[in-house]
Structure 1
Amino acid sequence: MLVSSLGFVRNVALWLLCVGVALVSWRFMVGGVESTMGFVAYHAMARPLAFYAHVVLAPVSLALVPFQLWQGLRDRRGTVHRLLGRAYGVSVLASGLGGLWLAATTTAGLVAALGFGLLAVFWVATTAIGIAFAMGADYPSHQQWMTRSIALTLSAVTLRLYLPVPLLLDLDFAQSYTAIAWLCWVPNLLIAEVLIRRRPSLIPAQ
């Protein structure tokens, strides 16, 4: 009973965080970039293609995560799972390449640029490898690599959990942002590796 209850709470939290953060990320469509995303608005002016590819499509990949982890959908609607997987892959590719361009041109400094840049590279790479294994019908390897991909997609959630911390603790935001550029994804990837090595089935039942 306890395990079942914890699984339910985990699944509800996953849906709320992924869909909620995706919707919040699209707030610029209503309020405008300057007023809702002021600290990165310079990207929208200097490199709009990369900026909008990232901020429009990265939330798409995040919102698709719970659907791709939904075992019932995979088991009963395999075609839908594959179609959503393709949409996830396209969203990651476009938003990841856009994110890499933004990282290379950030004003946050070299360390932050490396953090976000490596996130973009690993995000695209793990997704591409995972899709390649699916196309080759190697589903255990597909599952493992998509676990890594999803862990990196969830950096959108952990990033937003970390961003208020400097303000709450009265820390220097610029220095904290440099640390967050790494903290938002490295622990996620490490947790994914632990799960891959410890659990025979990585995708939770829903």
Structure 2
Amino acid sequence: MEAKNKIISKEDIVSLYMDEVLEKGQKPKSVYLFAKENDFTEAEFYPFFGTLEALEKEIFRMFFENSVNLLHQHPDYSGYDMKNKMLSFYFTFFEILTANRSYVLQSLKFDRNPLRNLVQLSTLRDSFKEYVSEILTDDFRLEYEKLQKFQEKGIQESAWLQLMLTIKFWVDDESPSFEKTDIFIEKSVNASFQLMNIAPLNHLIDLGKFLFKEKIYSKS
């Protein structure tokens, strides 16, 4: 009785959902069954989420939000330039993903169509693009002042694509402590900022060599 009298929170529901996905290896069939099996009512679910799909999207957004909150707790973060803010975000975000790796891997493989699995990342996408816009500095705007809106959207979309590629790399990474993902993050972020600066392509070549080497050794 004591457990049923407890007021369930958004965080409780998220934790219960993640546990159920991991323990059963499948998603709950409905909100009703999910609530019933976890000893709370369906009515207690809806103040936080309209559907189970909305809950799935919120989990990845929460990973993002926790990452940004941790960054802002660091006293030096506000003084970082855009590249170092992005690097800090990547390393923090992937630490959180790694802490929840079993859930992330499970949730991203339910459907044979990878695009359907990526639907749950749509809220993360919106939050990440907003973050990119917030940290975008005049260093990358001034030269293209007349095309700022177009340029900013392009930067947001390319940054999102880069994040998706990094998630894919991390999912496939079997190295200890995912150290190859750390290397990939540094090389890909450096390469993207070199492109934004229209600088020499040394970092792109470096990244290409790394990816080529990984592809060759993964086949051997």
TM-score (norm 1): 0.31
TM-score (norm 2): 0.30
- Which structure has more relative contact order (CA 8 Å, sep 6+)? It is 1
Going by fraction, where is helix more abundant, 1 or 2?
Answer: 1
Larger of the two Rg values belongs to structure: 2
